[in-house]
Structure 1
Amino acid sequence: MTESSGKHVLITFGRSFLTLNLARLMSAAGHRVTIVDSLPIGITRFSHATSAFFRVPSPKFEPVAYCRRLVQIAVDEKVDMIIPIHEETDILSMMAGLFPPGCELFLSPFATEKQLHQKAEFSRLLQEKGLPGLKYATLSSPEDVAALDFTTPFALKRVYSRGSQKVYKVAPGDDLSWLEFEDGNPWLAQQWASGARYCTYSVCRDGEVLAHAAYPVGYAIDGNSCLRFESVGHPGILNWVTEFVADVGFTGNIGFDFYDDPDIGLLTIECNPRATSGIMLFAAQDGIDRAFFGETTELITPRPDVDKMIGLGMLLYGWRRKSLNGRKFRDFVRDFRHSHDVVWASDDRRPALMLPLAYLYILRHCLKYKVGLAEGFMHDHEWDGKEIIIDG
């Protein structure tokens, strides 16, 4: 790729399909793209959209070294904007003061990022703002468990957790003696919701939504982490996101998980103040780069007929019972054939060709940290609320 006269953007988490698509979108719009990751082999590294790749320390295990390395790259390479993709967003926002003023971090202040990321704090925020939410309780000890007063089924998950990780459905009176308690990362008990499920992705600046996508939860790992993405219009969700983002003055990537209950209406389950899979619904002609740089006065949305999938993820998980969610296997075959893989591009084939090697490195991660494939993919880029001390 030849360097363009556009902006120079640095995008994190190069192994991610989200990063790959955003790099392609930025490059197609004439911007120079630099990619970083703690793994040496990530699919975006091999894309024609990438002008440079740097291996960096793990943001989870070496957060200060990670940020200092990004500062060095930003200065040496004259980076205009850093766009974090996963939970390194929280770490970068915590240490935003390290970065030169000429390099914009596309995120919000740490207090905002943390409040939206931590599931119990987000539920409390909805309550304070008088927005419809689900009954919830935070469990930090056996005494908290004994005090639970749910009369209907509820979900159990860590306040710092991800969609592909364990979410337990519990009935009142079930034995919860198996719960283990972790300082700084308690459990969230949250009323079990029903209705059609949707996820969103939005690009925001100074409290304004400049790009937005919504997609129903269909095929998903264990019913939680989406594998197939269809762009849909949902005015109610767009209005909710627009008003919430304006209220908190958010800047950055943000996504929400919704249930559309036929009796109650929209219920917001949780917030992800980072990029979500919705970025993969956008195409080059949509010009989403204008949203990142604040150069649009109209809302940018993907085409309504977009149908994307993580092909390898569908092959590994899409046909399983929890993912099918009542569908027949022939439905899976039909949908798999109809959807377009997010990695494959006829004019940028190397990421797809390098995908097996990239997954070998992920599998090494899984063995090292003794986690499953879905967890291993992002394990060294997670942030679970631990305070980071900057020495010197």
Structure 2
Amino acid sequence: MSRLSRKKVLITFGRSFLALHLARLMGAAGHEVLISDSVHFPITRFSASVTKTFRTPRPRYEPVEWTHALADIVRDEGVDLVVTIHEGTEILANTIEKYPDLFPDSCTLFFSGFDVEARLENKYEFQSALARLGIPTLDFALVRSQKDLEAVDFDTFALKRVYSRGSQEVYKVRPGEFPSGLMFDPNNPWIAQEWAEGTNYCSYSVCHDGEVKAHAVYPVRYAIEGTSCLTFESVEHEGIDAWVRECVKAFNFTGQLGFDFVEVPDRGLFTVECNPRSTSGVLLFDPETNVDRAFFGVNDDVIAPQPGASKVLGPGMLMYGWRKSARKDKTLLQYLRDYRRTDGVISSRRDLGPSLALPLAMGNILAEATRYRVNIPEAFMHDHEWDGAED
């Protein structure tokens, strides 16, 4: 059990498996867990770890109303800590800049100020910040037009929006072979980033005032189109550990933070992008780690997952993991073995509700896909996405 006294924690984006896992971690540590979401049946509401669920406006489309709704929950329920999941982090950080007195001082909003969150979220601004700090980067350039694209002076590169996420398009551009039909949005331009072959890793950290309080590293093995991880296995990597400590200190960061890395032979370690919010690395922490202490910043030593900890996103592996683009050089037989031997995120003998409610929860996502006319991976997060808007 945690040494903390019982706290009341509000976790947003309850449809997420990350919210479900964090709710279980907080519940196992003795805290009271509340959940919010804009859909009717977020999977986390069916967890025995959750005491109340609240339906809120959509943060992407009604950010002010959503922020007011969260503030009302905090005041009415006496919430001690708000943990935002996905890009609701940036939306809430942005909105409270304009309405700074909505939340009582007794409640901690677990993220950094909007200026830091926005700089880290913007893929181009993040790389520029690293360069100013003297941290080595892959070659990169801002692309606002076809002319900018054709002027990129390094060979093969990745092309993606400065505000985007793993479920969205990434182009691999070879010399002289530019993608056709590109749209250029002045509010969300593209970044061209050198394509480097190497070993890919992700990290996840819980931070307070520039210090890392909890930390996990995992290699990219199965991923939707090579970008959104489906399996997670804790590994040790001292180079990544040191890199993250340096970066967190430089930005004086508070909140949850993820990085995508590539380790290039004979060149070293580079950071591809930053996710200044909850990422799937939280799935590697089990109740025995007492990672709740990191969210409240009361631990001295860095909390890490148990050795060999592993998890798999079952529905995602069934839908995408078998595809060649997701499993890279692994055979279908290897895929089946890896799927069967890895602990699931949803199923739990101590908490059967989410497993039984999975068809209902997935129905939410299908409805969102139909409503917004997007694919299923994008529908999952669509009304919680943030693309740099400050209104």
Q: TM-score range by the shorter chain?
A: over 0.9
Alignment of 1:1-392 (within 5 A): 6-96=6-96, 97=100, 98-150=102-154, 152-388=155-391
Q: Deviations over 1:6-46 (max 9, x none)?
A: 11110000000000000000011011100000001111001
User: Which whole-Å CA distance do the structure 2 matches of 1:354 and 1:193 have between them?
Assistant: 42
CA contact (8 A) 2:94 2:390 kept: no
Stretches of structure 1 lacking an aligned partner (at least 5 in a row):
none
For 1:22 and 1:325, the matched residues in 2 are separated by 30
Q: Secondary structure at the match of 1:204?
A: strand
Q: Cα offset for 1:183?
A: 2.6
Identity of aligned residues (%): 53
1:321–1:270 Cα change, 3 Å: same
Structure 1 residue 177: Cα displacement: 4.0
CA distance in 1, matches of 2:233, 2:300: 25
- C-alpha offsets along residues 83-125 of structure 1, whole Å, 9 cap, x if unaligned? 0011010111113313221111000010000000000000101
> What SS does the aligned partner of 2:260 have?
strand
Deviation at 1:199, TM superposition (A): 0.5
Asked whether the equivalents of residues 228 and 307 of structure 1 are also in contact (C-alpha less than 8 Å), the reply is: yes
- For each residue in 1:171-218, what CA deviation from the matched residue of structure 2 results, as whole angstroms up to 9, or x when unmatched? 011134421111310011110021110011100000000000010001
SS of the aligned residue for 1:211 comes to strand
Moved more, 133-142 or 249-258: 133-142
Counterpart contact for 1:233–1:304, Cα < 8 Å: no
Q: Letter of the aligned partner of 1:169 in structure 2?
A: K
Partner amino acid, structure 2, of 1:338 = R
Cα deviations across residues 233-280 of structure 1 (Å, max 9, x unaligned)? Answer: 111101100111011100000000000112111100000000000000
Instruction: For 1:148, give the aligned amino acid.
Output: V
CA distance in 2, matches of 1:145, 1:319: 34
The answer on whether the counterparts of 1:44 and 1:50 sit within 8 Å (CA) in structure 2 is yes
Which residue identity does 2:69 align to in structure 1? R
* SS across alignment from 1:341: coil
Structure 2: runs of 5+ lacking an equivalent: none
1:139–1:145 contact (8 Å) kept in structure 2: yes
Cα distance in 2 for partners of 1:236, 1:21 equals 28
State the SS of the aligned residue for 1:340.
Answer: coil
**Aligned residues between the structures:** 384
User: Over aligned residues, Cα RMSD in angstroms?
Assistant: 1.1
Query: TM-score scaled by structure 1?
Result: 0.96
Residues 157, 188 of structure 1: 8 Å contact kept: yes
TM-score (norm 2): 0.97
Write out per-residue CA displacement over residues 272-307 of structure 1, whole angstroms, 9 at most, x where no aligned residue.
000000000000010001001111001100012111
Aligned residue for 2:50, secondary structure, equals coil
Whichever residue aligns with residue 126 of structure 1, its letter is L
Letter in 2 for 1:128: R
